[in-house]
Structure 1
Amino acid sequence: MDQAGNRGAVRGFAVGMEETTRRWIAAMRDERYADAWAIEQAILALRDPATRDDPAQPYHRRWVWDGRAPDGRDVLVRCYQGLGDTIQFARYLPLLAARARSVTVEAPARLHPLLRAIADVALLAFDPANPAPPADLDIEMTELASALRMPPLAVPVPYLAHTPAALPRGTIGLCWAAGDWDRDRWVPEALLAPVARAGPSLSLVAAPTALPVLNPDGCAFDLSATAALVAGCALVVTVDTMIAHLAGAMGKPVWLMLKAEPDWRWNPQARTSGWYPSARLYVQPRSGDWHAVTRAIARDLPGFFHHDVAESDHGQPAQSVGARLLG
């Protein structure tokens, strides 16, 4: 094939992969998980085995699983994606442990306390400069759903518990910042002022804020401390970041502020999530329109807290949503 033919073949492959990715995203958003897994298997069959866990690729672009079943094998789960992705898919670790001979999870050390609360598995600290050697079967954390053929809600939620921080009743946790790699997920913090003024509010961002919150210096950059704050909140209002997954995994009411074309795991046409039953989705009606999102949240807050009081007013002392969920 001549050079022009090679370029055409590459373009054709890229177009084909884009269409395949669109079909996979549509299947995931529609909760047609069997269809999504079939697409993943078809992609896996086309991959060159020599490119598996390719050190020439950044970790978040690597594929790890070779398609074999984990049953009866020594499995190494590698956490190459973000903290939120790891929390989202950690729900599958108990199921994996029940089928594999052994399970070791290689994850950032700061996640270990939360992972210990989810599953009884061995833990290794992930060192990007010195990753663990291959095991009998390697798999990336986000590949577990496909490998186990288990939809999200096959795992009861909450699947993560944490001792709550002592906070005023009805505290709202606020997170308006996500990773720097996608600034379109960030909400200008000033837009959340009406929400923060609706009752006792707490920042879940590790930076100072001018909002009227209980902790104007921000949240500690520590996952256990953050988990305690989330557990103590009555409601968490957050952008698409780790906080959303932490709250969802705990079964906390979480109102998720999403850009008009959100990540694959959120359906912009829905108000609910197949991953987290306690989530409510607030999607931009137009790209960049966070004003509409925050106005809708401020409008819905009185109904949320009225419902909370009504449920509690049956001859028993009123409890926060957090107290009820955590028993």
Structure 2
Amino acid sequence: MYEADQPGHGLDAIVAQRTPRGGAAQHGISKKYAMHHRSGPSLWLWHMRRGDFDAAWTVSDVVLEARRGTACPHLPRHEQWVWDGTPLAGRRVLVRCYHGLGDTLQFIRYAPLVKAVAREVIVWAQPKLIPLLRTVRGIDRLMPLHDGAPDAEYDVDVELMELPHVFRTTLRDLPREVPYIHAKPLAAFTSPIKRRYGRLHVGIAWRSGDWDARRSIPFALMARIAEIPGIVLHILQFGSGLEELPDGFGVLHDVSDISKMAAVVRALDLVVTVDSMPAHLAGALGTPVWTLLHMEPDWRWMAGREDSPWYPTMRLFRQERQGEWGPVVERVSVELIRLLSREAPQCASGRSGD
């Protein structure tokens, strides 16, 4: 339930669920919010996609006030609001990770900020991520997420993806230092990879969660990268999508364990992936990553950018027409050829450890 991407999750879903369903007067909300009520969370999304986080938080503030005192236990956890506006300073804070694995990897960067003001930071996270999250600064206690109540005493709780609102993050002060998750490339992985001097070792993932087919690329298209001389492909795909993989294609690794995937990613020169967990893992580890996006991507990738303010080592490759991945893969291939011509000597030495 908590370990895969799901539809309607994230800050946009939280804002949508907080939006009152009745009239403004009935809910006692402000005229400013009432002006935008028909557009609902669209106003928030519009601000976030254009990078005006300040304006988005103003919308969030009004919605937070409008639903103050209400509960949402009937909603799926990934759509629930948690934070009630209580300040975190000096308190025991429970951070609930109710969304996808990639969401947790992206927003766990806020743990040091929480620790800077809180008395104690308790993170309730997906079990698969616990080993990696032990490397993140600012966490006093990690607990595996389950369907029951958290086994911890706390003063205030917050969902992980609410933290940008809590800290009123803007593009000016967004916590962007990487790596903030750490993994050492295992010798068993790095030795065979780095022995093949003069080649570019690229990890690929082509399938995202089944709930949003728009994010996924047909394997046959992604496989075109293998036709570029000097490219060695490493398979980061897990779960659905592996059935498309022909026998003998690329270098296979055991990436069912995310800690092992992190070790592989740290040993690579580049990751090329759709919008899915491996993109966030590579970005959090500071590995160069090219993320391929469909026409209407999630708010976090913003609009019209080829870079990501969240990940300094990431480039974005966007569809220009809905559903057309061929031109995207072609642009990636062109850039890989350019990278090979520039980086072949550096590829021989590999990436330094943390």
Cα–Cα, structure 1 residues 29 and 255, in superposed 2: closer, same or farther, change >3 Å? same
1:77, distance to aligned residue in structure 2 (A): 0.3
Partner in structure 2 of residue 106 of structure 1: 124
User: Could you tell which deviates more after superposition, 129-138 or 263-272?
Assistant: 129-138
Give aligned-pair identity as a percent. Answer: 38
1:292, distance to aligned residue in structure 2 (A): 1.2
- State the SS of the aligned residue for 1:200: strand
Partner in structure 1 of residue 12 of structure 2: none
Alignment check: 8 A CA contact 2:51 2:302 kept: no
1:266 aligned partner, one-letter code: W
Deviations 1:20-67 (A, max 9, x none): 42232232223222222222111111114221xx22110111000011
Q: 1:244-255 residue pairs with structure 2 within 5 A? A: 244-255=279-290
Matched, 1:31 2:51: yes
Counterpart selection for 2:221 from 169, 191, 207: 191
Cα–Cα, structure 1 residues 293 and 219, in superposed 2: closer, same or farther, change >3 Å? farther
Deviations 1:83-137 (A, max 9, x none): 1111110001011112100010001111111111112420111112444567310
Write the distance in 2 (CA, Å) between the matches of 1:88 and 1:104: 17
1:233, distance to aligned residue in structure 2 (A): 1.2
Write the distance in 1 (CA, Å) between the matches of 2:326 and 2:103: 27
Write the distance in 1 (CA, Å) between the matches of 2:34 and 2:268: 45
- State the SS of the aligned residue for 1:278: strand
Alignment check: 8 A CA contact 1:106 1:132 kept: no
Write the distance in 1 (CA, Å) between the matches of 2:304 and 2:342: 25
1:280, distance to aligned residue in structure 2 (A): 0.9
Partner in structure 2 of residue 175 of structure 1: 205
Alignment check: 8 A CA contact 1:178 1:185 kept: yes
1:155, distance to aligned residue in structure 2 (A): 4.1
Alignment check: 8 A CA contact 1:205 1:219 kept: no
Matched, 1:214 2:234: no
Deviations 1:124-181 (A, max 9, x none): 1111244456731000000111112334633412212211231245210000011111
Write the distance in 2 (CA, Å) between the matches of 1:64 and 1:115: 21
Cα–Cα, structure 1 residues 17 and 186, in superposed 2: closer, same or farther, change >3 Å? farther
Cα–Cα, structure 1 residues 8 and 189, in superposed 2: closer, same or farther, change >3 Å? same
User: Could you tell which deviates more after superposition, 104-113 or 114-123?
Assistant: 114-123
Partner in structure 2 of residue 145 of structure 1: 164
Deviations 1:306-326 (A, max 9, x none): 23246x4xxxx9423xx14x3
Counterpart selection for 1:124 from 143, 151, 167: 143
Alignment check: 8 A CA contact 2:200 2:344 kept: no
- State the SS of the aligned residue for 1:187: coil
Partner in structure 2 of residue 228 of structure 1: 263
Matched, 1:202 2:234: yes
1:236, distance to aligned residue in structure 2 (A): 0.5
2:237 aligned partner, one-letter code: V
Deviations 1:65-89 (A, max 9, x none): 0112211010000000111111110
Q: Which runs of 5+ in 1 are unaligned?
A: 1-6
- State the SS of the aligned residue for 2:115: helix
Deviations 1:198-234 (A, max 9, x none): 311111112351273111xx64311101111111111
Q: Per chain length, whose mean CA-contact separation is higher, i.e. which structure has more relative contact order (CA < 8 Å, sep 6+)?
A: 2
Cα–Cα, structure 1 residues 268 and 290, in superposed 2: closer, same or farther, change >3 Å? farther
Partner in structure 1 of residue 133 of structure 2: 115
Counterpart selection for 1:88 from 106, 119, 122: 106
Partner in structure 2 of residue 286 of structure 1: 321
Partner in structure 1 of residue 331 of structure 2: 296
- State the SS of the aligned residue for 1:49: coil
1:176 aligned partner, one-letter code: W
User: Could you tell which deviates more after superposition, 123-132 or 72-81?
Assistant: 123-132
Counterpart selection for 2:312 from 274, 277, 298: 277
1:240, distance to aligned residue in structure 2 (A): 0.6
- State the SS of the aligned residue for 1:279: strand
User: Could you tell which deviates more after superposition, 143-152 or 231-240?
Assistant: 143-152
2:43 aligned partner, one-letter code: R
Q: Which runs of 5+ in 2 are unaligned?
A: 1-20, 27-32
1:221 aligned partner, one-letter code: S
1:59 aligned partner, one-letter code: R
Write the distance in 1 (CA, Å) between the matches of 2:23 and 2:53: 30
Partner in structure 2 of residue 161 of structure 1: 182
Cα–Cα, structure 1 residues 290 and 155, in superposed 2: closer, same or farther, change >3 Å? closer
Alignment check: 8 A CA contact 1:268 1:283 kept: no
User: Could you tell which deviates more after superposition, 253-262 or 150-159?
Assistant: 150-159
Cα–Cα, structure 1 residues 134 and 34, in superposed 2: closer, same or farther, change >3 Å? farther
CA root-mean-square deviation: 2.5
